[in-house]
Structure 1
Amino acid sequence: MLGIHDPLLFLLSGLVLNMTPGPDTAYIVGRSVQMGWRGGAAAALGISTGCLVHVFASAIGLSALLMASATAFAAVKWAGAAYLVYLGFTQLFARPPAAAAEADAPAVAADASLRQVFWQGALTNVLNPKVAMFFLAFIPQFVAADAAHKP
């Protein structure tokens, strides 16, 4: 049928793993504190998009390539580290907006920053090689060996 055995156990395991705190949870909480529920929702949607990228990569075998190739793993690891350094420097050297400019166009700034929060969450998740390794180790446990369509 779907190629999944124990779908209830898979769903329960996925929920428990999503509720445990980690870097993604810290990012969502930080953005929620900084920007309110809209910022937290944008961060959660971005991280979820990053997870979907990992699910797709796992289905087509890219996660297995990362596991097998030390060079590919190192490239993703360094790209993720460079992105985190970039985010750190942009936060460190960002200037707060002037009160007058903020009063004139608050809606435009909020939309732009929500878009940024979404993409930052997605990139932070996609460039985390530990997430790829997790999907490589977790998802195959629930794929039926005799399934016609494993992806």
Structure 2
Amino acid sequence: MIPFDLLLLFFTASVLLALAPGPDNLFVMAQAAQRGSGAGLLVTLGLCTGLLLHTSAVAFGLAALFQASVLAFSLLKFAGAGYLLYLAWQAFRAGGEQEGDTGSDTLQRGRLYRRGILMNITNPKVSVFFLAFLPQFADPARGSLAVQLLLLGGVFIIAAIVVFGSISLLAGVLGERFRQSARAQKILNRLAGSIFAALALKLATTER
């Protein structure tokens, strides 16, 4: 199995990668600032559920499809960009109210969790990244590659939860004052909408 010192090195690299500005941590930050730390944590759990799917795809060879097929890669990335544009439209439309505040708390929690999953699984760059990154720390001489890749994916997810969870708490606290004012909330919603739109543009124009 993978030596502990190599797992520690992998965990450190994963934390640094999660800290680097990117679509996922910007998405978590925007959601937490707009809707509170709890919302950011739910989105984080959704994103990490998506990482489970990407890890499985790498471990069992499905990610190679997105690296090899232009069509599959393009279809998934445009689906993700379209979803982000939908979120941007919702945020701009919300004005001075928190988007989607009507309805039960359970419904809202489920929606935020699913939002994180959709954001993550519709970004084919994650699978391609995992396909390039995870195998560097695996070795056939240590046993099943699939098991090693699943373990590495699990360690990466722990690192992502630590980093994204911290971002959620910080952004939620900083955004609390804005959420107390309708005018400030309107500005916050427009800022979140702009971030979603920018992420959509970045995803739509990304290359394999």
Fold agreement, TM-score > 0.5: yes
Counterpart position of 1:28: 28
Counterpart position of 2:69: 69
One-letter identity of the residue aligned with 1:146 = A
- Which whole-Å CA distance do the structure 2 matches of 1:4 and 1:68 have between them? 33
TM-score by length of 2: 0.61
CA shift in 2, pair 1:2/1:44, >3 Å: same
Q: Give the secondary structure class of the aligned counterpart of 2:104.
A: helix
Counterpart position of 2:45: 45
Map 1:106-121 onto structure 2 (within 5 A). 109-121=104-116
> What's the C-alpha RMSD, in Å, of the aligned pairs?
2.5
Q: Give the secondary structure class of the aligned counterpart of 2:141.
A: coil
Structure with greater helix percent: 2
One-letter identity of the residue aligned with 1:44 = T
* Structure 1 runs not aligned, ≥5 long: none
Superposed displacement of residue 35, structure 1: 2.0
- Which whole-Å CA distance do the structure 1 matches of 2:106 and 2:85 have between them? 24
Counterpart position of 1:127: 122
Superposed displacement of residue 89, structure 1: 3.3
One-letter identity of the residue aligned with 2:123 = N
State the percentage of identical aligned residues: 36
How many residues in Structure 1 have an aligned counterpart in Structure 2? 143
One-letter identity of the residue aligned with 2:118 = L
Task: Please say if residues 3 and 148 of structure 1, whose CA atoms lie closer than 8 Å, have aligned partners that are also in contact.
Answer: no
Moved over 6 A (4+): none
TM-score by length of 1: 0.81
* Structure 2 runs not aligned, ≥5 long: 147-208
